[in-house]
Amino acid sequence: MAISRAQLVKELEPGLNALFGLEYDQYDREYEQIFSMESSDRAFEEEVMLSGFGAAQTKSEGSAVSFDDAQEVYTARYTMETIALAFSITEEAIEDNLYDRLASRYTKALARSMSQTKQVKGAAILNNAFDSTYTGGDGLELCSTAHTLANGSTFRNELSTAADLNETSLEQALIDIAGFVDERGLKVAVSGTKMIVPKELQFTVDRLLESTLRPGTADNDINAIRNMGMLPDGYAVNHFLTDTDAWFIKTDAPNGLKGFNRTAVRTSMEGDFDTGNVRYKARERYAFGWSDPRGIFGSPGA
């Protein structure tokens, strides 16, 4: 269906003072606060979690040394999606428009729609972080209390009891992150670097991280989180998170949450000989996901 003069009646008449509705500012690429972005030249990317060795064993004099096996644990796959949108304008609508270049105006709107979709798809990884039907390489959701390990045990990147964001729950989350282990149960040095919160929690997180003294109390205690230099990158507000009380901590674990850009957004146009209509299209390919769930810690709120 092409945009015709019937949809642009006011733009065909003299006396119009302003055209508006397409000039709003946009939020910056907020998904870049969550994901490590990489480029790709494949239909999909795979990353394999490896298991190292367990703790070394004491060897008695004259006895044989203990052997251990390393293995591949699971594979995380990022499948590139193709995102596209198009519109068409009749030849007559282009000719008779009095106020603006239709193509220029609606091409900008097309780019904005593409950008918005990428923001939504990036945030969807966290919006589905507690959904057991939205799984990663280990067969579990991103944030779980029972991520399986190669040694048969489990670890969690979610509070054992869901809690709203406050001083107590944030401190417990940082303690839990410091207790992360690898696939064989060995301690790993991982720490929280940045909080990711919805717009509804921006004031709460600012008080928690920026107050000099303990927030919300009459005590003259220091703000330990700030004093210890926890969460050195502060916090980021993501306006595309849908759960108003869910909150997340991004960690410095390597190969955590990733995004792959396969094809940058491209626009193209063509005219139709028979009708004279001009068609415009935007297209982009990318994927969001996670390899190591240790890259994030979260709580769905109470």
Q: What is the pLDDT along the chain (302 residues), one digit of tens a residue?
A: 666 545 544 444 444 334 444 556 788 899 999 999 999 999 999 999 999 999 999 999 999 999 999 999 999 999 999 999 998 888 887 777 644 566 677 788 888 899 999 999 999 999 999 999 999 999 999 999 999 999 999 999 999 999 999 999 999 999 999 999 999 999 999 999 999 999 999 999 999 999 998 887 877 789 999 999 999 999 999 999 999 999 999 999 999 999 999 999 988 888 888 888 888 889 999 999 999 999 999 999 99
For the record, the structure tokens of 286 come out as 């990318």
Q: What is the DSSP letter of 214?
A: P
Closest CA to 141 of 153, 129, 159: 129
Q: Which of 179, 157, 149, 180 is nearest to 71 (CA)?
A: 149
User: Rounded CA gap, 27 and 105, in Å?
Assistant: 19
**Tokens at residue 248, please?**
């997340």
pTM score over 0.75: yes
Q: What is the pLDDT of residues 93-144, one digit of tens each?
A: 777 764 456 667 778 888 889 999 999 999 999 999 999 999 999 999 999 9
Residue in 172, 256, 160, 159 with CA at minimum distance from that of residue 208:
172
- Which of 188, 225, 178, 183 has its CA nearest to residue 206? 225
User: Going from the N-terminus, what domains does the chain have, and what CATH number goes with each?
Assistant: 29-53+75-299 (3.90.1690)
